[in-house]
Structure 1
């Protein structure tokens, strides 16, 4: 039996900010849900779905509703995100029957030999270009004929400066959770995101104020489509830069 390393949390990009991510992602997934569901249509339900970088499980919910009864392998390396993911799955009897949570990253996770679909939503910026291309080839070997790989490209498409802006604000009880961020180039293909997470009370007073920085590999829709085509996929672009790739 493999034991968890004590240093796991130090390499977790979301160790400090993870508690904010689910609630601040709800609105984004309200918009993403439709394009992702549409891209999953036609997936063979008798084969498992891999959700790579499943986060807190918002994409798992979309996949489970799009393909009722299908087995889902939810892969998530962040211990904080995985805790939220398992809590979401654990409170739903149907999800408990079909979702397996795997503590690994997309490159090294043990995946079923054949897949009926794969999701890689809001996560590819964590992968350097070579790792990204290797992942597309790995998935191409496992996806059944016609089974979709659903992936999205997130801005910025190039390594440019992004001014500070608020991306979400959600009221929970007497508190409002806010997320904002800015980015600056650190190389030709990478930016550093400087994120700020705040909690304010019903009087507007700051309860918590957290700042974190993480690196992100940028990629355009065109470049991502080219990578997928090189791996043997036929790519269709949908709303919100959600791509459906099939072989």
Structure 2
């Protein structure tokens, strides 16, 4: 089940992975995570002109980026998974500011092309789908797409080592008479791969009325590993990166 974001798109077309996750995505997305990542974007990309968002999913942060970029700023939203892209386009179609400013690309991160230099590349909740060999291509491609001073932005990965994660409940939101949460756990597959099992649960009061489970094989990437890989493509740490955020930038031209 190991693969890239593109193979996750293929799995979703088969009714697996994000095909199960997609209908719940917005309502189970943890609010503290949403707030902290939006705050990171506010610090790092406010006033930018051109941004690529890789793996935007349903557009949770695409909408935030629209508010942070300069008035004529442009976003390239790269989303290969059909079910997520459907939700993304639906969200964007209801935002007047998106009509002239957001281009949705259906290719994967290793195939998509952007024809102008970028101020930032945002990669939230997606790099775990790429093997070390694929990440080398990913970093080379998108570091090269940055203008001098441009930033590559992602969250620090969890866990930092391949370790089993016991089951825990992540609270979600409520829609009408139903509330939603996620039961998450992970098992070790090998020295740099874990398999997450995510069970999305629907409750009516204290009655569990539905649950669906999706599995995702995810590569473990420590901050130290990430630093070595990004330094190897010529990026340097961004001094304004908040805690828990990996932000690396292309050095300014001398």
Fold match (TM-score > 0.5): yes
User: How far apart in 1 are the matches of 2:51 and 2:15?
Assistant: 27
1:22 and 2:23 aligned: no
How much does 1:11 deviate? 7.6
2:150 is equivalent to residue 147 of structure 1: yes
Partner Cα separation in structure 2 for residue 228 and residue 211 of structure 1: 34
Q: In the alignment, which residue of structure 1 is the partner of 2:36? A: 31
Question: Aligned to 1:107, what secondary structure does the other structure show?
Answer: coil
Q: Which residue of 2 aligns with 1:213?
A: 215
Secondary structure of residue in 2 paired with 1:83: helix
8 Å CA contact 1:221–1:241 kept in 2: the answer is: no
- Please show how residues 1-247 of structure 1 align to structure 2 within 5 Å: 9-10=13-14, 13-25=17-29, 27=31, 28-41=33-46, 43=48, 45=49, 48-69=50-71, 70-202=73-205, 204-236=206-238, 238-247=241-250
Gaps of 5+ in 1: none
Partners of 1:90 and 1:129 in 2: how far apart?
36
Q: Unaligned stretches of 5+ in structure 2? A: 1-8
Matched-pair contact (CA < 8 Å) for 2:47–2:68: no
Residue deviations 1:157-197, cap 9 Å, x none? Answer: 11100010112221111100111210011011110001110
CA–CA separation in structure 2 for the residues paired with 1:187 and 1:11: 25
Task: Kindly report structure 1 stretches of 4+ aligned residues shifted beyond 4 Å.
Answer: 5-8
| Residues 12 and 79 in structure 1, CA contact (< 8 A), matched pair in contact too | no
Report the aligned-residue RMSD: 2.0
User: How many residue pairs align between the two structures?
Assistant: 239
Higher mean C-alpha deviation, range 9-18 or range 155-164? 9-18
Q: TM-score, normalised by structure 1?
A: 0.90
1:36 Cα shift? Answer: 2.2
